[in-house]
A and B are shown apart, each in its own frame.
Chain A
Amino acid sequence: MVRDVPLLALSGVTKTFPNGTVALAGVDLTIQPGRVHGLLGANGAGKSTLIKILSGALAPTGGDIRWRGERVSWTRPQAPREAGVATIYQHIPLVPTLTALENILLDQRAFLRHRADDRQRIGDVVASLGHPFDLDDLAGDLPIGARQMISIAQALAGGADLVVMDEPTASLAGDERQTVYDTIRRLAREEGKAILFVSHFLDEIMALTDEVTILRDGRAVLHAETADLDEARIAETIAGRAITALGRRKTRSEPGPVRLEVDAVASPGKLAPTSFTLRQGEILGIAGVLGSGRSELMHAIFGADAHATGTVRLDGAEIGRYTDEAVAAGLALVPEDRAGQGFVPQMDIARNVGLGVMAQSGAGVRRVDAKDERRCAENAIRRLGIKTPGPHALVTELSGGNAQKVVVAKWLTDRTRVLLLDEPTAGIDIGARTDILLLVRGLADEGLPVILVSSEFEELLAICDRILVMRDGRVIGEADPNETSETDLTLMAGGGDRAPAGAPA
Chain B
Amino acid sequence: MTRTDDLPRIFGLREAGVYYALLILLFALAAIASSRGLPPYLSGQNLGNIAYQASLIGIMGVAMTVMLITGAFDLSVASVAALSAAVLVGLAGSIGFVPAVFAALCTAAAIGLLNGAIVQFVGINAFIVTLGTLTAVRGLVLVLTGGRSLMVEDPDVLAQMLAFESTRVPLFIAGILLSAVLLGTAVWKRRPLMGAAGLCIGALILLAGPGFAVAAPVIYLAIFTLIMWALLGFTTIGRRLYAVGGNAEAARLSGINVHAYKLGAFVLSSVAAGFAGVLFGSRLGAINPTALQGAELTVIAAAILGGTSLFGGAGSVVKTVIGALLLFTLTNGFNVLNLGANYQGLIEGIVVVAAAAIYTVGGQRRVGKPKRADTAPDAPPVSEGASA
Is B truly associated with A?
A: yes
Q: Which residues of A contact B (CB under 8 A)?
A: 17, 19, 21-23, 25, 28, 44, 214, 216-225, 228, 237, 240, 302, 304, 322-324, 326-328, 333, 335, 340-347, 351, 354-356, 358-361, 363-368, 370-371, 374, 387-389, 393-394, 396-399, 410
> How near does chain B come to A46, taking the closest CB pair, in angstroms?
9
B371 engages A347 (CB within 8 Å): no
Which of A343, A359, A365 is within 8 Å of B247, CB to CB? A343
Q: Chain B's nearest CB lies how many Å from the CB of A238?
A: 11
Which of B299-321 touch A at CB < 8 Å? 309, 313-314
Q: Which residues of B contact A302 (CB under 8 A)?
A: 253
Bound complex: CA A221 to CA B379 (Å): 8
Q: A217-B377, A368-B236 are in contact. Are A394 and B367 (CB under 8 A)?
A: yes
Please state if B381 and A219 are interface contacts (CB–CB under 8 Å). Answer: yes
**Known: A366-B235, A371-B1, A394-B367. Is A344-B246 also a contact (CB below 8 A)?**
yes
Q: Are A340 and B370 in contact (CB under 8 A)?
A: no
Interface stretch of the complex, out of B37-45, B205-213, B254-262: B254-262
**B235-269: which have CB < 8 Å to A?**
235-240, 242-243, 246-247, 249-257, 260
Between A and B, 5 residue pairs with Cβ closer than 8 Å are A44-B374, A237-B382, A345-B246, A364-B236, A370-B1
Which single residue of chain B is at the shortest CB-CB distance from A359? B255
Check A368 against B377 for contact (C-beta < 8 Å).
no
Q: How does the 8 Å CB contact mask read for B25-52 relative to A, with 1 for contact and 0 for none?
A: 0000000000000000000000000000
- Other 13 A-B pairs with CB < 8 A, given A322-B257, A345-B247, A365-B235: A22-B377, A214-B382, A219-B381, A224-B387, A240-B376, A240-B379, A323-B254, A327-B255, A344-B243, A346-B314, A351-B242, A365-B236, A389-B371
Residues in B neighbouring A333, C-beta threshold 8 A: 253
Instruction: Kindly report which residue of chain B lies nearest to residue A49, judged by CB atoms.
Output: B369
> Cβ of B239 and Cβ of A217 under 8 Å apart?
no
Main secondary structure of the interface of B (DSSP, over half): loop
A360 touches B367 (CB 8 A): no
Determine whether the beta carbon of B373 is less than 8 Å from that of A389.
yes
Across the two chains, which residue of chain A brings its CB closest to B257? A324
- B368 interfacial by beta-carbon distance below 8 Å: yes
Contact A224–B367 (Cβ < 8 Å):
no
Given known contacts A217-B377, A221-B381, A222-B386, A335 and B253 CB-to-CB distance under 8 angstroms: yes
Number of A-B contacts (CB under 8 A): 153
Please give, as numbers and ranges, the residues of chain B lying within 8 Å of A225 by CB-CB distance.
Answer: 387
* Whole-angstrom distance between the Cβ of B347 and the nearest chain A Cβ: 31
Query: B363: shortest Cβ distance to chain A, in Å?
Result: 10
Q: Are A399 and B242 closer than 8 Å at their CB atoms?
A: no
Main secondary structure of the interface of A (DSSP, over half): mixed
CB pair A222 B382 closer than 8 Å:
yes
Report Cα–Cα, A157/B112, bound state, in Å: 53
Q: A222-B383, A365-B237 in contact; A326/B255 too (CB < 8 A)?
A: yes
**Contact A396 B376, CB 8 Å, known A326-B255, A355-B243, A365-B237:** no
Instruction: Please name the residue on chain B nearest to A44 by beta carbon.
Output: B372
- B339 at the A interface (CB under 8 A): no
* Cβ–Cβ < 8 Å partners of B314 in chain A: 346
Q: Is the CB of B235 within 8 A of A368?
A: yes
B240 touches A358 (CB 8 A): yes
Point out the residue from B239, B309, B375 that lies within 8 Å of A355, measured CB to CB.
B239
Q: Is the CB of B239 within 8 A of A342?
A: no
Contact in complex: B371, A304 (CB < 8 Å) = no
Contact assessment for A363 and B388 in the assembled complex, using a CB-CB cutoff below 8 Å: no
Size of the B side of the interface (Cβ < 8 Å), in residues, is: 45
- Greatest chain B CB density within 10 A among A221, A393, A396 is at A221
**CB distance A217 to B379 under 8 Å?**
yes
Closest Cβ of chain A: how far from B372's Cβ, in Å?
A: 5
Chain B residues near A344 (CB, 8 Å)?
A: 242-243, 246-247, 250-251, 313
| Measured CA separation A417–B368 after assembly (Å) | 38
Instruction: Evaluate contact between A346 and B235: CB separation under 8 angstroms.
Output: no
- With A216-B379, A410-B254 in contact, do A346 and B246 touch (Cβ < 8 Å)? yes
Q: What are the residues of chain A within 8 A of B155 when measuring CB–CB?
A: none
Closest 10 CB pairs of A and B: A327-B255, A359-B255, A344-B246, A346-B313, A346-B246, A397-B370, A387-B373, A344-B247, A224-B386, A355-B254
Are B387 and A359 within 8 A (Cβ)? no
Cα–Cα, bound, A282→B112 (Å):
48
B315 CB, min distance to chain A CBs, angstroms: 10
Chain B contacts for A358, CB-based, 8 A: 236, 239-240
| A19-B255 contact given A228-B385, A342-B250, A368-B234, CB 8 Å threshold | no
* Given known A-B contacts A224-B385, A240-B379, A346-B242, A327 and B254 have beta carbons under 8 A apart: yes
- B313 to A388, Cβ gap below 8 A? no
In the complex, are the beta carbons of B313 and A345 less than 8 A apart?
A: yes
- Report yes or no: B388 in contact with A28, Cβ–Cβ below 8 A: yes
Q: A343-B250, A389-B371 are in contact. Are A368 and B239 (CB under 8 A)?
A: yes
User: A368 and B238 in contact (CB under 8 A), knowing A218-B377, A221-B381, A327-B254?
Assistant: yes
A322 CA to B376 CA, complexed, in Å: 46
Considering the chains assembled together, what is the distance between the CA atoms of A322 and B227 in angstroms? 30
Contact B371 A397 (CB under 8 A): yes
Residues of B within 8 A of A22 (CB): 372, 375, 377
Tell me the bound Cα distance from A340 to B251 in angstroms: 10
Residues of A within 8 A of B256 (CB): 323-324, 355, 359
Are B375 and A19 within 8 A (Cβ)?
Answer: no
Separation of A389 and B5 alpha carbons in the complex (Å): 12
